[in-house]
Structure 1
């Protein structure tokens, strides 16, 4: 099967017009027609019905089935081109969320440097949701991922490093800090909260708690930056939620409070790669070193 025929067919399904498809690919209309006929002969079915009376191009059920499969074929081909083009490169396309980078990555920096891997890392810093997409698209080959639940996806190979709980974080100037005791999340309905902008784990867990407890507190600020998020809480602009390790016991400006009624979601840290991806020796070495990260 000619993959170009599939490209023509996929675009015909989207545009429903032979002339427009021919113009897009800068070929003659008979070229598109012949491509569709070849596919119909290969699959022994009618893929396209042309209603000349009403000047409509209809896609049959089998045509729709092939269209859906062609999307997966095209994605796999694009992925193959990316992986093969980078096959001889010593660079490691590594995804790292800011919070995991600041909390746990320093544990292995020395070992990475000792094994000459630091200069090979091409780090893509972004939220875990974005990194999942980059992994799927082949823009990143390995990523440290934070998730609220353990990752169970057959398209990825996952090495779980550990799990940490979330805590409510307040300024030491806040009245809740004076009590310094575990609190019921549903009692926070009248509090002002700092929220995370964008697709970040901490923003998702915060809104999951809102939904679980049925409260709708005021959001006074949103930020995509963890440092600014913590600064706003320190200044007592509002309260927030952070994974336990983000709050140092020696930080005199913060008080971290346990949640009496925690939901089943926690901060799970995993090393993730595509299940079909064949690791380079440097990448195998990187994963072996990352496995030594202690999430405790």
Structure 2
């Protein structure tokens, strides 16, 4: 077996789809399939169940995945170690970003890093916050910008935003005019983000703490979509304060008994590689966050 076969195997396992994996590694689907077949022949076992609609790992595939990732990481570390000596960074960095979150400073950081280190290939993937966190922990992603209601205690992080949830309503709405209690909110349809997002986790937690069962009418992954639905009278939007800013037709009302903040954080594993550390430094500058606002040992939306 060779590293290329392991790279394709990991790509298919993470994408759960041969076509998306081929796009990710920049070769044809038939090329990916052929290399996976050669790897399976050499190992003497099928790695994927091809009878399902998605490419699901077999028991043998599950057993091989962690070792394949470790082998690729070890190979990358060889290049990184030499790069640190020569001052030249090479390799690949995989970055995750929560769906529907346009954060210009992150893009600025990526652009600045790319100009300074063209030998490092960058990939960016959107997903919901729960899956992004899982992928950072597993090593499938080097770092990710995620929404959360709690600080992950096993990762290093930069806190980008920490702010309360608000209820957003159009002018003339029955709730307009002051803070909203969760029990009063329960009498109205709610438009919010889906499970797996940081904002939804915070909202679910504060409602459960007060014994409130909100009437979830509609769900959307983008703050703009939620705001537009609320503007049209389809429900009370649950967003963070900054997400409501810029929507002139909506009024942000404090949730009187929901004090837990929603967090937007950049998270990565302890002991990450040199290229990731350099990108994190660019992110610190882009977000204008000093090193003392992050944790290198502690474990810290949408």
Asked if these proteins are the same fold (TM beyond 0.5), I'd say: yes
Moved over 4 A (4+): 72-76, 85-89, 117-120
Structure-to-structure mapping, 1:229-240, within 5 angstroms:
229-240=226-237
C-alpha RMSD of the superposition: 3.0
Q: Which residue of 2 aligns with 1:190?
A: 187
Offset, 1:93? 0.4
- Secondary structure of the corresponding residue to residue 175 of structure 1: coil
Aligned residues: 217
Once the 2 structures are TM-superposed, how far is the Cα of residue 236 of structure 1 from its aligned partner?
1.2
Separation in 2 of the partners of 1:229 and 1:82? 41
Change (3 A) 1:247 1:195: closer
Please name the residue that 1:277 is paired with.
Answer: 272
- Distance in 2, matches of 1:143 and 1:136, equals 10
Match of residue 169 from structure 1: 168
Partner of 1:254: 250
Given that 1:82 and 1:138 are in contact with CA atoms closer than 8 Å, whether structure 2 keeps it comes out as no
Q: Structure 1: how far apart are the matches of 2:265 and 2:219? A: 27
CA separation of 1:266/1:130 partners in 2, compared to 1, >3 Å: closer, same or farther? same
Inter-CA distance 294–123: structure 2 relative to 1 (3 Å threshold):
same
Please state if 1:140 is matched with 2:141.
yes
The alpha-carbon distance between structure 1 residues 196 and 113, as it changes in their structure 2 partners (threshold 3 A), is closer
**SS across alignment from 2:69:** helix
- 1:106 CA drift (Å): 0.8
Task: Write the mapping of 1:1-296 to structure 2, written as runs, cut at 5 A.
Answer: 77-86=67-76, 88=79, 90-98=91-99, 101-102=101-102, 105-110=103-108, 112-116=110-114, 120-153=121-154, 156-177=155-176, 179=177, 181-248=178-245, 250-263=246-259, 265-280=260-275, 283-292=276-285, 293=287
Cα displacement (A) at 1:82: 3.3
The structure-2 alpha-carbon separation of the partners of 1:111 and 1:97, relative to structure 1 and needing over 3 Å to count, comes to closer
The answer as to whether partners of 1:128 and 1:147 remain within 8 angstroms in 2 is yes
Distance 1:26 1:107 in 2: 48
Q: How far does the alpha carbon of each residue in 1:200-221 deviate from its partner, in whole angstroms, 9 at most, with x for none? A: 1122222223212222232222
Give unmatched runs, 5+ long, in structure 2: 1-42, 46-61, 80-89, 290-302
